[in-house]
Structure formats: structure tokens, C-alpha cells
Amino acid sequence: MNIGTKVPFNDTARIYNKNRAALSKVMSEVAESGWWLLGKQTQAFAEEFSAYCGVNFCIPVANGTDALELAIKAVIGDASVDAKIITVSNAGGYSSIACRLAGVTPVYVDIVPETLLIDIDSLKVCLRKNVKAVIITHLFGAVVDVKKVRRVLDESGFQSVKIIEDCAQSHGAQLEGRRVGSLGDIAAFSFYPTKNLGAMGDAGAVMTNSELLSNKVKELQQYGWSSKYKINIAGGRNSRMDEIQAGILRCLLPFLDSCNHKRNKIYDTYKALGAKGLYFQQYHACDFVGHLAVIRTPEREKFITYMKESGVMVDVHYPVLDIDQVAWHSMPFMIDEQSNLEASRAAVKEVVSLPCFPTMTNQEIDQVCHALLNWKG
């Protein structure tokens, strides 16, 4: 094994090189048209991605964080005073940032150790007055059982609480034949370049089957306008996907399922090795789409050093819980006091991500496998 060859954690340039002709063509066509915003590429992408996800409405926006913020604002409406939203603390801070931007208080619930996804049974502990929504983060390419979440909310007397899906890491994943983005009341997608469906820059989308919520998001994404220059609702912003990003996403969307299949195959290859001292997450009853190959080891720092010495770049998703971020210490929040986020705190010390992207070569996959098999933790 030639460990002089370095395996990157990801390499987005390969996406362009593999699809150079189609991507160059659409970028050139958009540039030459002079219509760079709110044009036919954005409209076409909204229609095509809606059809792919099985959702009635898709509102393309500037990025995934905007998508989450706009989804929250659309759901809470005018009831933002002391509004609370349940979320997890181990997903990189993105849902918490959106809560802060929307002016609502995050309520942190614990996770299931085997999946690192939200512990649905713990939701009951966190349900209380002024909880307006639950953000369901489909983390690392796995899918939360949204039907069970809805059942728990309804049986607990919280039928009015909305479900916001954070689909930034799960493009194309399914639960019982339905794709993420179609399972809750409203959903947010990010198309950051490293996502399963990634743009060549920032882009995002809000998805919903509700015409009412769709109309609210459309107003909020453009200053709160009901019509040009007439502001109908407060809390608006400027958040638009540009035509080049929409065109790029249209080019890549037809390959999403095949790329997800490659991601899963890589993850399964690593998992099948049975490497000692390394724990792979267990995903049940969902169509996993391998956004990240996250494992756990109690000797994380030693493992990271070993992998780098073996020529394999790794990363940590994520090293700090939202609740422990210094900038938010003085800001209001609530937690699942029954568990005290025990599983979240244990996982944050052990998680590490391996290279898992669809343009990896067989040689690179073999090099990662060789390193895993020779790990002596």
C-alpha cells in the first residue's frame, strides 16, 4: 500500500471535471442571457426538485441556514413571543443558529446512541407550553422516523406543534417509500458544495405541501413583500438562489440516486471490515444515503493521528455541542433534564468521519480499508 498517496476527505473539483461539458454549458448560457436571478433555471429547478421529493411547493433560497430560518418564521407566524422549538444539540449548530435568527428559544432533546439521531421517546419530556415546532435533523444521511414523531406529538396533546425537517444531509433518503422533505409540515435543504446534491456555491430550498406556508416563505424570502415594494409581514429578508446555482443543480439532480448508491457502498465496505475498536452507527428502517461515514472510538485523537499518518484525511462532525458553544452561554435555552443530554455528551467525545464521497477511486477506498484493518486501538 502506497501511503505516500493522500486520500482527501472530499474533493468537489472532481464533480466539475466529471460533468464539465454540461456544467460549463449551463453556466455559459446563464451568463450570456443576462438574467441572473429569478429566471427560468430557478423555476425549472423548483419544479424538478419538487417532483423528485414528492412535494407540492419548492422555494429556492440563498442557503440552508436561510431555509431553516424562513421555515421557522413561517411556522411560528406572529406567535414568536417566548416561542420554543425542540431540536438536538449534536448537529453542528445549524438549527440553533436558525432559532437565534428567528428569535425563538431552542429546547435540546437527547439522541439515540446507536444512530446519533433525535431520541423520539424523550420528546415527551420537552413538550410544554409555547413549543411551536420540532426540528427533525436527518443527520449524516440517516432518516428520523417522522411518522413516530407526529404520533408522539399527537398522543401527548400537542397536535398543533409543527414538524420542520432539516434535510441538509439527507437528499434523496426515504422512509417507507417517501423521500425526506415530504414527511413533515415544512422542510429545509442546503445545497452547499459537499452535500449529496451540491451547488458550486451556496444555495438552499424550503419545501412544503402547504400552500399557506409556501406563500409565507415566498413573502419572507423577499423582504416580506406581498407585492413589489409593499411589505406585508415582518421578519423578511433577501434570500434568493441565483440562476447559475439553479442550473448546476438541475444538471446534477439526475445523478443524485446513483451517487447516493456509491456513498452507501463505500460506507458498507468500511463497516463490513469489522475493524476492532471502531463502532459504526446502526440505521434501521430507512434509506440511508451516506452523506458522512461517521464512526465512534474512545481513542479519537490517537485514531485521527494514525489515519493522517496513513495518508487518510478525516474530520469530526461535530466537536462541540450547541449547548456548549461559548457565544450562546448567556442566551436562553432549555434541555431534556431527564437525560441531561447524556448520550449527546458521550458521542461528542468519540465521533469521527471517514472519507465517503461518490468520486472516490477504488485505490482510495482500499487505502482507507487498509488503514482501518491495521488500526490497533
The tens digit of pLDDT for each residue in 48-105 reads: 999 999 999 999 999 999 999 999 999 998 655 689 999 999 999 999 999 999 999 9
Please enumerate in sequence order all residues whose Cβ is within 8 A of that of 211, keeping only pairs 6 or more positions apart, or say none: 56, 57
**What pLDDT shows up at residue 252?**
98
Q: Which of 48-52, 127-131, 214-218, 318-322 has the lowest mean pLDDT?
A: 127-131
**What pLDDT shows up at residue 3?**
60
The H-or-E segment that residue 279 falls in is: strand 279-280
Amino acid at 39: G
Instruction: State how far the Cα of 190 lies from the Cα of 188, in Å rounded to an integer.
Output: 7
5 — pLDDT class (breaks 50, 70, 90): confident
The tens digit of pLDDT for each residue in 308-323 reads: 999 999 999 999 999 9
**What pLDDT shows up at residue 218?**
97
**What pLDDT shows up at residue 82?**
86
Is-contact 102 134, C-beta < 8 A? no
Mean pLDDT confidence for 112-122:
95
* pLDDT of 4 over the 70 cut: no
Residue 282 has a CB neighbour count (10 Å cut-off) of 12
* pLDDT of 284 over the 80 cut: no
Q: Look at residues 290, 319, 312 and name the one whose alpha carbon lies nearest to residue 373.
A: 312
Which residues lie across from 294 on neighbouring strands?
Answer: 353
**What pLDDT shows up at residue 80?**
55
Q: Look at residues 302, 286, 280 and name the one whose alpha carbon lies nearest to residue 356.
A: 280
Count of domains forming the chain: 1
The domain in which residue 164 lies consists of 1-377
**What pLDDT shows up at residue 311?**
98
Which CATH number characterizes residue 220's domain? 3.40.640.10
